[in-house]
Amino acid sequence: MHWSDVIAQRLTERGNDHIIATGITPSGEFHIGHLREILTGDMIARAARRSGLNAELVFVVDNADPLRKVYPFLDKSYEDFIGHQLGSIPAPDKDGKPDWRRFEEEGWSYGDHFLQPFLEALKQIGVEPRLIPNLTSYREGKFADSAKKACDNPDAIREIIERVSGRELPSNWFPWQPLDSKGSLDGLDVTGYNYPMVTWTDKDGNTGESNISKGEGKLPWRLDWPAKWGFNHITCEPFGKDHGAAGGSYATGVEIAAFFGHEPPQSLVYEWISLRGKGAMSSSSGNTVGPIEALRLVPPEILRLLIANSKPNKAIEFDTGMGLVNLADQYERLASRNFDEELSNDSLSRRQRVQIEDAQAALRLSMTTSTQEAKATSVSFRHLALLAQIKPKDEDIWSSLIESGAITNPNSVLSDRLERMRAWIDSEHFPEEMRIMILNEPDAASLGELDEEQRNLIPIIAGELQNAQWTAEGISLAFKNAANSADAPMRSMYRACYAMFMGSERGPRLAPILANCIRDEVCNLAQSCADSV
């Protein structure tokens, strides 16, 4: 069974109605790493509905969390907002400064600024969850019941956290973080409690009160999380390995949820997504690739496959270069398979059947809607990348594909893919090993680096190309004939070819590239090279 079906099966034991939750703090730009959580939740919800359950996906926006520091993308004036809740401070403008006008006129907050682009990316990728802004939940008093239980019994809560986590809490710890008179959660000492009021003193000796029922503050994270499981009726939630570690916030949350009077959700711990060569993604450090940026490069189905085809406990290294090429080609291979026919084979072993069923489920979950059918385009990413680089006009690409028999007519899927391919080629992410540059005239420096044997091959190559059949196979045969005619090894012939056509020592396979170029231009370049040596 696919991992999403395993979780769905467990949910059937808990009843028919389910709310699958995901949640992220909007402290900076969202990145591909954040997609793992919400896509994992989305895939569980789809699997649950496929199993006949009533399942809804929600996205808890942790905008009651404070701004913890002035990140590199913020102006230093944000120092005044450290400790303030993300949903109650202005968003940064294009220069990283607080946009007071929009905040005062539209209520556009710091949290909104970073959340909205992520929601737009999610819509493209087929995920439209119900949003639950945590700050609103506090202000509407939804945390009040759990907060009262915690504040009425601080010693019991302390005992759970210290025993399960194995760490000692500060002597002045209290299960409610009040807001000071300026709206900050930082630097306050709780001096008294009489529900719903918590009294406090700040570092300057100022005193004040915080009303729990009005959400004038918040619960610490280890209480906040299990509290919202209850009033949001959450039955399943995937989360990162930091929360799932021994003594982590899920472990304490299980006992605190019982203290609050409700069950913890079905858990699923997932590993991180890292950026190839750069380590774990981080919004605060800027080591990210955003979902919108990624969707400019590849179709949403391919990004969904990245998550669907990886077990949650397996770390993913996201590679915007050759990794995306391989992932896209994997999608094409999956989309071209006839899974029903494969599964009808009675001689399959149990392991073979499981592998086929897992692949089928991964492809199904890669679709942006549950009713969408996967269709192979019959044009690999590699070939499309080749054509997009040597043919600037789309109609020339379609003509080439039609002439080769790859397609009969361009369709919307291929057109969309070509648009993203051109964006990818123009970006910093396109792999250098796939980058193609065919010369317009001989490169004297590259030709000058050839040895005598290689230079002697150039006129022979030019002559063979004049008579070659203009296909990848025909051009390959011309290269072979040239080498045989000069009694030279193929490595010398290819060294000469790359110098002639690309001004380099090596590169991608030349024959398919030249076959898609204009014959007269290639032959004229070859003859010019022959005349210059």
pLDDT digits (tens, 9 = 90+) for 327-355: 998 999 999 999 999 999 999 999 999 99
**Mean pLDDT of the chain, nearest integer:** 94
Instruction: Give the Å distances, CA to CA, from 71 to 23, 90, 135, 281, 456.
Output: 21, 15, 22, 15, 61
What long-range pairs does 458-465 form, CB within 8 A, spacing at least 24? 458/496, 458/500, 458/526, 458/529, 458/530, 458/533, 459/530, 459/533, 460/485, 460/486, 461/493, 461/496, 461/497, 461/500, 461/526, 461/530, 462/523, 462/526, 462/527, 462/529, 462/530, 465/522, 465/523, 465/526
Question: CB within 8 A of 460, min separation 6: which ones?
Answer: 482, 485, 486
Distance, in Å, from the CA atom of 395 to the CA atom of 386, rounded to the nearest integer, reads: 15
Q: Is the pLDDT of residue 253 over 60?
A: yes
Q: Is the pLDDT of residue 220 over 60?
A: yes
Amino acid at 527: Q
**Lowest-pLDDT range of 2-6, 92-96, 505-509:** 505-509
> Position of tokens 């701004």?
67
Cβ atoms of 425 and 390 closer than 8 Å: no
Mean pLDDT of 317-336: 89
Domain(s) of CATH 1.10.10.350: residues in the chain: 444-532
Q: Which residue has the tokens 């770390």?
A: 315
The mean pLDDT value for 205-219 works out to 97
Residue 31 pLDDT class (50, 70, 90 cuts): confident
Give the pLDDT mean for 416-441: 90
Which pLDDT band holds residue 287 (cuts at 50, 70, 90)? Answer: low
Q: Distances in Å between the alpha carbon of 397 and those of 388, 404, 410, 476?
A: 7, 11, 9, 22
Surface-to-core class of residue 340, CB atoms within 10 Å of its CB (0-12 exposed, 13-18 middle, 19+ buried): exposed
**pLDDT (average), residues 511-516:** 93
The per-residue pLDDT for range 51-83, each reduced to its tens digit, is 999 999 999 999 999 999 999 999 999 999 999
Q: Which residues pair with 22 in a beta bridge?
A: 59
The upper half-sphere exposure of residue 518, i.e. CA atoms within 13 Å in the direction of its Cβ, equals 9
Instruction: Please report the pLDDT score of residue 158 as a whole number.
Output: 98
- Residue pLDDT, tens place only, 148-188: 999 999 999 999 999 999 999 999 999 999 999 999 999 99
Give the fold, CATH level 3, of 444-532.
Answer: Arc Repressor Mutant, subunit A (1.10.10)
Find the distance separating the first CA and the last CA of the chain, reported in whole Å.
64
pLDDT-above-70 percentage for the chain: 98
**pTM for this structure?**
0.90
Task: Decide if 103 contacts 281 (C-beta within 8 A).
Answer: no
Phi, psi dihedrals of residue 60, rounded to the nearest 5°: -85, 115
